[in-house]
Structure 1
């Protein structure tokens, strides 16, 4: 038997590339071969920001590229345009790519294709090529469960065929899962044009024999048992994976953190996609000023494409804080100076925060972030919700009040540390996730 050779294809956003990169590193540690498919645009971008991709060859991983079908100057933050282009252009290139890779290494042909959400066509292609296929879900298992139950939610009249909730109500996806607001279902906040795509995509995912979840049954016991296809292999924290970062990380913040007292700094980051409205940006800035304590704030660089309009209000001093464009988040969260994390509750950030034992303040924007907030605040009880005023804004006073509340609450900190311990136990050699990863690799052989 040759060693398994995986072809892995992420949807080209940071929140998909990172977990798939971490998953690939876990596979290579088990002696597998991995060929990682980037879009040409992202490969260029990651190589220029960290220059690290080509150094991974000796670790059993190599990189290949496929075109995303857009012109170099096209706006890739327009996700509808991006995935329509990928779906229209990329599938035609895949069989040839597989053929070329196999010709290079006759003894180690590709044995399995792994793709993330929006790349389900690759699983269908694998099926046609007679290659095994698996799906890596990069968000929480609870949000995958919600997608899985779409037909039932429509049948039960909880949502209509467009994915909109039919009325304000609380629902429970399965008996061991928490009760949630129907409006927090993970396709909320997206344009209606996305929902039909999701329904189609779930059919594509049926071609994947396993649905790998970056989670554990300690974190989401009810969700991971929804289907025998769900296989928890998380948390994927293999490396300091900045090798796939699209932006240059500012590491001066680590030196700055070294000079701050233990558990004094409020860390603020809203991930790689969310954009704060100008009024909300202003409230966050002024709220941080009110804190009278040090803060570290990640404000993504604005580019013409990014439509980020970060105008700091005139009365903002920011004298106690440090503002950076992009940061090595895992290292920051594990730094002893960090007190709490004001987060958009994307799943990667949620896992990194939980794995570092850091209490949260939650400001979700879209998709699975509302479900993640439910788990953070109501299920694990390791954070607090930031509440909006009647105009839908989170005001500076609310930020100040909640930061004080979360830092004065010893129970939240104690639960954060307990949860951290549970997660560390999962990834050790005999932990559930390690065993599941081995089960998956043996299946691929």
Structure 2
């Protein structure tokens, strides 16, 4: 049924194909070790629950505060998911309560990587002593020391990319990442489509996007962790047995072709890993949902713009002002989540009063999946974080693209190429934009005849990003691969 199913069989001897379907009773012990970011912790945990529901044992490693932040283990999975808590070692300049990238400014995230690296002895001790011995460890890009350790202990290694195949293809072969070949040291270096992309594409960053990604703090300190991100990525991929992608083969087939060629090892898409019904029911902010729902219920179907820029993105005073004025000028009802920084204090004078009849400004952690699933929501003005994108496309919401940091610029290019979103025009050098460009982009995506094709394409994504049968098929194929590997 799916391309990925065909691909998997190329890595498995044909003589195993009958056993591939018959063997269902082998229980795996899988260790999960995500990077210290909510946008990584949550999908790793969601993936863990999917695997546990298939009957496999999970050991999920993180720090105390991060384990409290992810949803509680469902009652029926308590016997299969074991949370392993390691206190984060103290690091100079890292606040004592900082355990996640949302706890520190972007420029200080390298300090978290220093702390993560200091967890190596604790992780080794656990892997060597836990029973039964793990069959697999699934890890993130930052823990570059982990695959070598796991190999020494005799545990199979799976690098789990929470980035798209397109994003990872842009950064190239592992050897180049590790050896500094094709080195890109300036923001301008990242604005060119790399030579290993064999087809026409717009897959490149804008200058302002990479300038922000490379910025230092006000004192000029970039808090170097001692290991570059490119080296972490390169080693994590190179020393893995397999590479897993939280993406769909059918959505970006050309980019999966590229990563398979440059990685020269099994590359396995697992679909988007759908959120489970219990996920937001356990949220401490779930008590706010009735009030939010009442407001959404008061608006017509597909009329509301949901605005949320993730847990880490910060806007300047001017950017916040222009975005607010653009929402006002568009005349659409909107639900705007402002949960990072004190943006609500720098909204334009009189803005709240002028939009009080159609604007809901929310300064807490919002139940995003419930909001996106409400029929009143028609469009999503998003920072283009892959987690948010997959959730929105699962409900067929058209995207208004406003990338802010990290991988988001390339995600926006991919979503434009796939014609499921409209990007707000910005100055390519400094990233500036106007309220007019915000309002015009919203109208284009939400109501214009010109944008109808984009809206229709987004609606068609529900079968790929929101279909339980599709998701289960991906997970089943992946589990079968793990069981029969080697």
Tell me, yes or no, whether TM beats 0.5. yes
For 1:60, the equivalent position in structure 2 comes to 80
For 1:370, the equivalent position in structure 2 comes to 409
Contact 2:303-2:332 at 8 Å conserved across structures: yes
Tell which deviates more after alignment, 266-275 or 141-150: 141-150
Return closer, same or farther for 1:185/1:191 CA change in 2, 3 Å cut-off. Answer: closer
Return closer, same or farther for 1:207/1:246 CA change in 2, 3 Å cut-off. Answer: farther
Q: How big is the shift at 1:171?
A: 4.2
Work out the CA distance in 2 between the residues paired with 1:174 and 1:350: 24
Check if 1:396 corresponds to 2:420. no
Check if 1:94 corresponds to 2:119. no
Contact 1:162-1:196 at 8 Å conserved across structures: no
Check if 1:211 corresponds to 2:248. no
Check if 1:413 corresponds to 2:455. yes
Check if 1:149 corresponds to 2:173. yes
Return closer, same or farther for 1:289/1:314 CA change in 2, 3 Å cut-off. Answer: same
Tell which deviates more after alignment, 292-301 or 334-343: 292-301
SS at match of 2:310: coil
Return closer, same or farther for 1:168/1:37 CA change in 2, 3 Å cut-off. Answer: closer
Return closer, same or farther for 1:212/1:166 CA change in 2, 3 Å cut-off. Answer: closer
Work out the CA distance in 2 between the residues paired with 1:245 and 1:394: 38
Work out the CA distance in 2 between the residues paired with 1:295 and 1:38: 36
Q: TM-score, normalised by structure 2?
A: 0.79
Q: How many correspondences in the alignment?
A: 428
Q: How big is the shift at 1:150?
A: 6.7
Return closer, same or farther for 1:155/1:34 CA change in 2, 3 Å cut-off. Answer: closer
Tell which deviates more after alignment, 131-140 or 226-235: 226-235
Work out the CA distance in 2 between the residues paired with 1:424 and 1:267: 18
Tell which deviates more after alignment, 277-286 or 170-179: 170-179
Q: How big is the shift at 1:429?
A: 7.2
For 1:436, the equivalent position in structure 2 comes to 477
Work out the CA distance in 2 between the residues paired with 1:163 and 1:229: 32
1:365-414 deviations in whole A, cap 9, x for unaligned? 1221111111211x211111101258632221211111111112221121
Unaligned 5+ residue runs, structure 1?
103-107
1:268-293 deviations in whole A, cap 9, x for unaligned? 00011111111111111222222323
Return closer, same or farther for 1:270/1:2 CA change in 2, 3 Å cut-off. Answer: same
How does 1:65-214 map onto structure 2 within 5 Å? 65-70=85-90, 72-74=96-98, 76-77=103-104, 78-87=108-117, 89-102=118-131, 108-149=132-173, 160=183, 162=185, 164-166=187-189, 169-171=192-194, 173-175=196-198, 178-181=201-204, 183=206, 189-191=212-214, 196-214=228-246
Contact 1:186-1:371 at 8 Å conserved across structures: no
Contact 1:364-1:370 at 8 Å conserved across structures: yes
For 1:105, the equivalent position in structure 2 comes to none
Return closer, same or farther for 1:299/1:91 CA change in 2, 3 Å cut-off. Answer: same
Return closer, same or farther for 1:352/1:238 CA change in 2, 3 Å cut-off. Answer: closer
Contact 1:83-1:118 at 8 Å conserved across structures: yes
Q: How big is the shift at 1:327?
A: 1.3
Check if 1:383 corresponds to 2:437. no
Q: How big is the shift at 1:437?
A: 1.6
Work out the CA distance in 2 between the residues paired with 1:94 and 1:242: 27
Q: TM-score, normalised by structure 1?
A: 0.85
SS at match of 1:181: coil
Work out the CA distance in 1 between the residues paired with 2:110 and 2:266: 28
SS at match of 1:367: coil
SS at match of 1:255: helix
Check if 1:220 corresponds to 2:288. no
Q: How big is the shift at 1:81?
A: 0.9
Work out the CA distance in 2 between the residues paired with 1:391 and 1:69: 37
Q: How big is the shift at 1:152?
A: 5.3
How does 1:353-364 map onto structure 2 within 5 Å? 353-364=392-403
Q: How big is the shift at 1:417?
A: 1.7
Return closer, same or farther for 1:25/1:352 CA change in 2, 3 Å cut-off. Answer: same
Work out the CA distance in 1 between the residues paired with 2:471 and 2:310: 31
1:9-47 deviations in whole A, cap 9, x for unaligned? 11121110111112111111211011111212312444x
How does 1:299-310 map onto structure 2 within 5 Å? 299-302=338-341, 310=345
Q: How big is the shift at 1:156?
A: 12
For 2:15, the equivalent position in structure 1 comes to none
Tell which deviates more after alignment, 245-254 or 275-284: 245-254
SS at match of 2:83: strand
Return closer, same or farther for 1:174/1:54 CA change in 2, 3 Å cut-off. Answer: same
Q: How big is the shift at 1:177?
A: 7.0
Check if 1:232 corresponds to 2:232. no
